[in-house]
Amino acid sequence: MFCVFSFMLAMLCGMIAGANNGVYRMDTNTGWERYIRALPPTPMQQAVADLLIKLIYILIYGTILMIYAIFSDNHTGLHLMCYVMNIFLFFATLFVIIDIVYSFVVRFAQTRAELELMSLAAFVCGVIIIFKVCKLIGNIRMYSPVQFGNPLFGSTSYIFASFVASGKVTAVAVSSFVISLGSYFLVMWRLHERREM
């Protein structure tokens, strides 16, 4: 039960941290993009500012999760730090990628109808990708880390938690997170350059 709660908390924090914070859309809607042309920031500086805002959100929610994991470690004896942080990184990565797609949709939609149509198409594609990834994860063989006869042998939540907390999953989580943030920076830089044209 505690592993399920930890999963849900990490998933929620990752979703909020990686999700679109609305800054790009607010800049477009308020006319800030026209006003910013009179100011000195370059497209690269604007992209760095967007990335820093995203990193601040990620840092805040990551810190909340680390405090939770340390608290649970001290009071229950469950070592959840790797488990919780890997889930957090995966969901933050997923929502950073969704934010990249959303930024493209906002940039290239000319009318409100086009924006709604493109948003619906992006949502459908996102749902299909999530189902494909879940199906792929369901096909991964996970073995019980405890011997037969142990009360935890065969417990699916324990097997899943031990798999997610493994070093290989940590390496994949960190690398995908770094790649998604690099992609976010490059995409935002390019979008700010296109905005100036």
The domain spans of the chain are: 2-196
What is the average pLDDT across 76-87?
Answer: 79
Q: Is the pLDDT of residue 180 over 80?
A: yes
Q: Is the pLDDT of residue 145 over 70?
A: no
What is the average pLDDT across 97-110?
Answer: 79
The angle subtended at Cα 55 by Cα 54 and Cα 59, nearest 5°, is 125
- Most confident of the ranges 15-29, 74-88, 125-139: 74-88
Least confident interval from 4-18, 53-67, 94-108: 4-18
Q: For the segment 110-142, what is each residue's pLDDT rounded down to a tens digit? A: 777 887 888 788 778 777 877 877 776 666 555
Percent of the chain with pLDDT over 70: 71
Please tell me the chain's helix, strand, coil percentages from 3-state DSSP, rounded to the nearest 5. Answer: 80, 0, 20
Looking at per-residue pLDDT, the higher value among 60 and 3 belongs to 60
- Give the pLDDT score at 126: 75
Contacts of 184 (CB under 8 A, 6+ apart): 50, 51, 54, 96, 99, 100
What is the average pLDDT across 30-39?
Answer: 65
